[in-house]
Amino acid sequence: MAYLVAAALVLPLLAPEVWGGFRLGPADNVLGTIAPTEQPMSLRSPGGEWAIGLALVWFALAYWRRSPTWWQPILVILGTTAALIRSGNAWLDAVALVVPLGVQISSLRLPHRVVVAAAAIGLLTAAFTVWTTRPPALPQAAVTAAQGVPGTVFAEWQWAPQLQRDLGPDHHVLAAAGLASETPSFWLDYVRITQDYEQWPSELRGLNADVLVLSTDYPVVEQVRSSAAWHVVYDGGGALVAQRAEP
Amino acid sequence: MIRSLTLRHVWVVITVGAAFIGPASNPIGLQDVLWTLLRGQWMADHATLITTDPFTSAPHIAGQTLNLQWLADLIYHGLDALGGLPMVIAGTALVVALTYGLVLAAAITASGHLRLSCVAVWGAYALGASNLSPRPQTLAYPLFAFFLLAVVRSEWRKDSRLLWALPFLTVVWANVHGSFFTGWALLGCAALGRVIATRNVWSAKPYVITLVACVIASAVTPAGVGSLFYLATMSGNQIVRDYVTEWAPTSFGLREGPLFFGSVAILCGLMLKSRRRLTPFEIILLLVFGYLAWSSVRAVVWWGLAMAPTLAGLLGDIFPARTQNGRNVPVLNALIIAMVGCLVVVSLPQNKAMVPILPADKLGVFSPETPVKLGEYLQTHDPPPTGKMLNAQGWGGYLEWATWPRHQVFLDGRIELHPDQVWLDYLEITFPSSRWRSLVDQYGISYFALDKMEQADLVADLRADAATWHLDYEDDQAVVFSRAPLSALATPP
């Protein structure tokens, strides 16, 4: 039972990576401006407080009981360090924490209702984290609009994988295989374009992009709307689809 | 006298001396102290407190400018008047040495082990090393260290006599720097720890009385209670939180991050290994200051200071004092102390050029990133007849110190003086976004003083637009562009 509680408590650490895929690696400055999970873990990271909180709970129990075996601190330090290096590595932290946390919880002999409450808190927090970190929804109308426009698609990175599946092999959606599928140089361009860098039209030309599928939260959207070089084919529901108006 | 010198003296001198040598031998990197000096000069010249900001030209927030650091401005100005920037650096080093001397006293009080206390203070120093440059916050460190010593003496020696001094020190602290709330936090931790340890609310009376007196004392500023509201506003400032690195939450991406998390891991390891149980006060103190340090990288220095006595206590329990086997050689001790003294003297900015092994970037008063040549250029050239300068914000402190009033920078490091929109617009211009030209017109910018590395894209745009922008000056670090004579501002300033 204690190990089940521990498993429920570490679930929120897995939640942020549900949408982007479980990957182990170092943090990246450029990707970090796009996805919080690519930053080193901090107080502001999704699940940051939870990860450090769980490590502290383990430590508090171990300190109180004076019973940690040598491998427990090693697992906790390894897992926490992985998460601190890159927030998206928190899934490894979850895996590393389950057993040490379970061992400590099992020594507590908690009443049944406390066990159930702790597990429920873990599950609810995980569900909440999954919900709050979900990517923005791409309206079906935007997909339909994009289907009618051939060419290479520069899309909001969280929409790119699904958009590629929806549009099929006739279209090439940039970054459709996720954050690891493109070069650092591409992501630098991505940030500059979406943040309305003055040279965004030439940067898009450099990427051979013919179609834009952007979240309307991006500063560049206003420029696209008023640009003679781009023809907006869909604008609504938080998404904008535009087609290059000139060759 | 030499015969009375023991190894204990050697340890203390090395620890305090090293705390002095670090900041004394480092050039000024952070430019905040330069606008501090400028404000001090202004107040000394006008014999009044400064309530406006004549140094920057960007639009200001409405109302009076609150300067909670006026006393620090005057102290630094006094040092500057005594011996220029070298004296400012030497004075800061003295303050840092005093700080770690007080922390050492607190650690010895808590642990009873001098050498292990020195080791703990070295750890505290390593955690704060990146935050010991001349600036108002540095003047607050010895005040915090005194708070720590007072509380530690009260906890471990049952001697509460030093507590009475804390409200008086708070009056100084509140006029030097806004970090006086860390003194409250320390007293709050002590009060709560005492209540938990004794299960008696009344046992915390000395701390609670001192805390209340300190809270009242912190309103003894020219702004009165307004300073507390100002502090709350500052900590919630979105631009400060999102764009200023030293206010960012501590993470592995910042150089202090591995040090901070490493210190937490070491402390936890020692706690598990030690037979000594921490007191409720120590646990609460570590949690509060650990959270502060995790939430903002600039608070890591306070974490280092706060945890030193506990670290010394744990080390003392794990590595008990050994009976002294070695022979005490007073002459050797005197020799080592004299050597440290020599290093202290040589480390001073006035003398460090004598050290042949010191790297070139450590020899000057300013760090190599400081745009000294640009400052010299602007000092000898008038601004265009109309319009404002837009400068690299990180250079604002140096440029206003070097060139005001001939030139007025657009922005410096005082984030709170300008509305958020001004900062967002500055970022758009230097990015540069599609709107940068209209923003430049909107703010009436007629010349730029830019960092070629940091603002490379904007510099490239300005070079490409020779019809509008004329390159007036360039060195390996900086450029100055001004509006070409025939290109008028779209909107007059």
The H or E element that residue B40 is part of is helix B32-46
Residue A140 burial (CB count, 10 A): 10
Chain B: residue nearest A219 by CA? B433
Structure-token pair, residue B88: 């400012």
Encode pLDDT of A17-75 as tens digits.
888 778 899 999 899 988 889 999 999 888 899 999 999 999 999 998 877 788 999 99
> Does B356 or B151 have the greater pLDDT score?
B151
pLDDT at B487: 56
A68 at B interface, C-beta within 8 A: yes
How far apart are the C-alpha atoms of A184 and A191, rounded to whole Å? 11
User: Cis (ω within 30 of 0) for the bond into B405?
Assistant: yes
Over chain A, what is the mean pLDDT? 91
CB B438 within 8 A of CB B448: no
Chain A: residue nearest B435 by CA? A198
B265 at A interface, C-beta within 8 A: yes
What is the DSSP-derived secondary structure letter of residue B218?
A: T
pLDDT at B488: 53
- For the ranges B43-57, B164-178, B344-358, the lowest mean pLDDT is seen at B344-358
Encode pLDDT of B290-327 as tens digits.
999 999 999 999 999 999 999 999 999 998 766 555 67
Chain B: residue nearest A223 by CA? B434
On the 0-12 / 13-18 / 19+ scale of CB atoms within 10 A, B54 is: middle
pLDDT at B324: 55
pLDDT at B492: 40
User: Which of B272, B287, B317, B457 would best serve as a mutation to test chain A binding (most A beta carbons within 10 A)?
Assistant: B272
Q: Which of residues 280-309 of B touch A (CB under 8 A)?
A: 294-295
How far apart are the C-alpha atoms of A6 and A102, rounded to whole Å? 5
A62 at B interface, C-beta within 8 A: yes
pLDDT at A17: 84
CB B56 within 8 A of CB B39: no
Encode pLDDT of A75-105 as tens digits.
999 999 999 999 999 999 999 999 999 999 8
The contacts of residue B361 (CB under 8 Å, 6+ apart) are: B27, B367, B368
Encode pLDDT of B443-456 as tens digits.
999 999 999 999 99
User: Which of B268, B429, B430, B436 would best serve as a mutation to test chain A binding (most A beta carbons within 10 A)?
Assistant: B268
B272 at A interface, C-beta within 8 A: yes
Q: Interface pTM (ipTM) of the complex?
A: 0.89
B268 at A interface, C-beta within 8 A: yes
User: Cis (ω within 30 of 0) for the bond into B432?
Assistant: yes
Residue B3 burial (CB count, 10 A): 10
Q: Which residues pair with B389 in a beta bridge?
A: B447
Encode pLDDT of B262-271 as tens digits.
999 999 999 9
Is residue B395's pLDDT more than 80? yes
pLDDT at B493: 38
For chain A, the DSSP string reads -HHHHHHHHHHHHHGGGGTT--------HHHHHH-GGGSPP-TTSTTHHHHHHHHHHHHHHHHHHT---THHHHHHHHHHHHHHH-GGGHHHHHHHHHHHHHHHHHTT---HHHHHHHHHHHHHHHHHHHHHTPPPPPPHHHHHHHHTS-SEEEE-TTTHHHHHHHH-TTSEETTTT-GGGS-HHHHHHHHHHHTTBTTHHHHHHHTT--EEEEETTSTHHHHHHH-TTEEEEEEETTEEEEEES--
> Does B231 or B343 have the greater pLDDT score?
B343
User: Which residues of A are less than 8 Å from B250 in CB distance?
Assistant: 42-43
Q: Which of residues 382-441 of B touch A (CB under 8 A)?
A: 431-436
> Does B231 or B382 have the greater pLDDT score?
B382
- For the ranges B133-147, B171-185, B187-201, B342-356, the lowest mean pLDDT is seen at B342-356
User: Which residues of B are less than 8 Å from A195 in CB distance?
Assistant: 431, 433
- Yes or no, beta carbons of A42 and B250 under 8 Å apart: yes
Chain B: residue nearest A226 by CA? B434
Residue B196 burial (CB count, 10 A): 15
The structural domains of chain B, with segments of one domain joined by +, span 2-30+66-318, 372-483
* Backbone angle region of A155, left / alpha / beta, with phi > 0 → left and psi within -120 to 50 → alpha: beta
Q: Could you tell me the CA-to-CA distances from B84 to A154, B34, B75, B78 in Å, in that order? A: 57, 12, 13, 9
pLDDT at B239: 78
Angle at B10 between CA B25 and CA B92, to 5 degrees: 30
- Yes or no, beta carbons of A43 and B249 under 8 Å apart: yes
User: Which residues of A are less than 8 Å from B261 in CB distance?
Assistant: 81, 84
A218 at B interface, C-beta within 8 A: no
Structure-token pair, residue B205: 């009376």
Is residue B197's pLDDT more than 50? yes
